[in-house]
Amino acid sequence: MHKHRGFPSRLPGTDYQFTIRQANKKGPTKIVGRERYADRNPRDKTADLNFLACLVKHFGDEPFERGNLDAGRLCWLFGREVVAAEEPFDPSSYEAMLQINRDIAEKTFPEAFDQDNWLD
pLDDT in tens, 11-64: 888 889 988 887 777 888 899 999 988 888 888 999 999 999 999 999 999 999
Q: What is the DSSP letter of 19?
A: B
What are the backbone dihedrals phi and psi of residue 39, each rounded to the nearest 5 degrees, phi first?
Answer: -90, 20
* Domain boundaries of the chain, sorted by first residue: 42-112
* Confidence category of residue 116, pLDDT binned at 50, 70, 90: low
Q: Long-range contacts: 18-23, Cβ < 8 Å, 24+?
A: 18/51, 18/54, 18/69, 18/70, 18/73, 19/68, 19/69, 19/70, 20/68, 20/69, 20/70, 21/68, 23/94
pTM: 0.88
